[in-house]
Amino acid sequence: MSLSFLGHLRVIESSAFIAAPLAGLTLAQFGADVIRVDLIGGGIDYGRLPVMPSGRSLYWTALNKEKRSIAVDLRKPEGREIVRALVTAGGDDAGILLTNIVTPWLAHASLAEHRSDLISCTIEGNPDGSTAVDYTVNCATGYPSITGAGSPAAPVNHVLPAWDIACALQAAFSIVAAVERRRRTGQGAELRLALSDVAFSMLSHLGITGEAELQQQDRPAIGNYIYGAFGRDFGTADGQRVIVAAISSGQWTALVKACEVHTQMAVLEQTLRLDFSREGDRYQAREAIAEVIDAWCKSRTFTQVRQAFDANRVCWGLYRTTRDLLENDSRVGVTNPIWERVLTPGIGSHLSAATPVRAGNEDRTAVAPAPLLGQHTDEILQQVLGLDSPAIGRLHDAGVVAGPERDPSMPGFRQG
């Protein structure tokens, strides 16, 4: 769980795909007891690619680490009652539901009859409740038309599910804000969050909709150039690729110094009647500037480029593949305290990140691997609902709940 800020908060998560599980993970990484309600045998995303030979999904286990799992048959009324009881169970730190699955038996109003201070957070696609996923929202933002060599006729999708991530973190924030309010006032909250609203509101916060409305222009497609200042990718003589960012005037001065191109820049400024100490002027002259920097980079090896950049505190970065990042970048790996080695059943031993937040010298606990489906069924029924062993046994016998032995990727787990 890494940090313990959210103490004994208990969150019931009924979710699939990215946004809601990532919201739950964010809460769990700050110490919340996040209990996933899993379908017996796994839900819609339990086997999503990439998967290991065991059938266990690297995707699902990455998003659902640090949580507990209860496996329930949600087609059975008794199964649904168990989930409703988990959500509405008493305690100042309980009564929190996180879901992206809209269903009448988990409706806020109906649950609030049992616990009036309930906090529920429901993630939807569109505000009218219709389905949308990251890709079908992103297409409407305008970004694919200006990414890479993209155009309205040949848009380029992002690969990172950026809107899911934003939605997840906004949901986690909203839940904790509601908890904070409940602690002060006793009031519950019914929170709803649409992926499309998250995306389009972000366009407002970044000034993109303002630009489109007031200047009647869409942001131009400028490939890998950084908008509004100077920056772009460049190749080195030995085939590496770096990006340079000269956004602040200090970063610009550093770049000019590192490449020793004061004279060329002075000539350019004179020719173009611009002042490169102004970031807008650097942006205007970006192609002419890039030509000079490009010539400098491509006549030097990566080692030479790196030395000159670092000696002058240029703001730059090396393009890497993910494997290269893992193998060669010291920011990823166990020497960085946010990374740990974790042993996940059905997956093996692998590097895993805890919360990226560092909190002074406060204790961090080890990252817990993703649970098997139903790994905590019995302990949750006992701890949260106070059921005794015979009652729990009857639920198993009736097929209402299951333990980890029914996880399809772990057929032998806890057998006999």
Supply the residues annotated as catalytic: 164
The answer to the question of residue 416 lying near a second copy (CB under 8 A) is no
Which tokens sit at 249?
A: 């005037």
Site for a second copy in 283-312 (CB under 8 A): 283
**Looking at 76, 114, 241, 396, which residue binds a second copy (CB under 8 A)?**
241
The answer to the question of residue 22 lying near a second copy (CB under 8 A) is yes
Q: Report the b/e string of 148-181 with b at 16+ CB within 10 A.
A: eebeeeebeeeeebbbbbbbbebbbebbbebbee
**Smallest separation, CB 398 to a second copy (Å):** 28
Instruction: Mark residues 217-236: x for contact with a second copy by CB under 8 A, - for none.
Output: xxx---xx-xxxx-x-x-x-
* Radius of gyration of the chain, Cα coordinates, nearest whole angstrom: 26
The rounded distance, in Å, linking the Cα atoms of 236 and 294 is: 9
Of all helices (H) and strands (E), which one includes residue 19? helix 19-28
If we measure between CA atoms, which residue out of 308, 301, 225, 298 comes closest to residue 259?
Answer: 308
Question: Quick check: 63 and 25 in contact, CB under 8 A?
Answer: yes
Span near a second copy by CB under 8 A; candidates 20-28, 375-383, 393-401, 406-414: 20-28
Instruction: Say if residue 50 is preceded by a cis peptide, omega within 30 of 0.
Output: yes
**Smallest separation, CB 177 to a second copy (Å):** 4
- 3-class state of residue 233 by DSSP: strand
47 vs 399, beta carbon nearer a second copy: 47
The answer to the question of residue 169 lying near a second copy (CB under 8 A) is yes
The answer to the question of residue 12 lying near a second copy (CB under 8 A) is no
Site for a second copy in 318-357 (CB under 8 A): 318-326, 329, 331-332, 336, 338-339, 347-348, 350-357
Site for a second copy in 182-211 (CB under 8 A): 183-184, 189-194, 196-198, 200-211
**Smallest separation, CB 306 to a second copy (Å):** 13
**Looking at 76, 257, 306, 313, which residue binds a second copy (CB under 8 A)?**
313
Position 288: which residue type?
A
Strand ranges, E, within 68-188: 68-72, 96-99, 119-124
Instruction: Mark residues 386-405: x for contact with a second copy by CB under 8 A, - for none.
Output: --------------------
Site for a second copy in 98-127 (CB under 8 A): 108, 126-127
Site for a second copy in 132-151 (CB under 8 A): 132-133, 135-150
**Alpha carbon 271 to chain centroid, angstroms:** 46
Query: 119 forms bridges with which residues in the sheet?
Result: 96, 189
# binding residues, a second copy (CB under 8 A)? 152
**Smallest separation, CB 377 to a second copy (Å):** 25
170 vs 377, beta carbon nearer a second copy: 170
Q: What contacts 133, CB < 8 A, 6 or more positions away?
A: 17, 125, 195
Of all helices (H) and strands (E), which one includes residue 234? strand 230-235
**Smallest separation, CB 153 to a second copy (Å):** 7
129 vs 411, beta carbon nearer a second copy: 129
The answer to the question of residue 243 lying near a second copy (CB under 8 A) is yes
The answer to the question of residue 363 lying near a second copy (CB under 8 A) is no
Query: 2 forms bridges with which residues in the sheet?
Result: 365
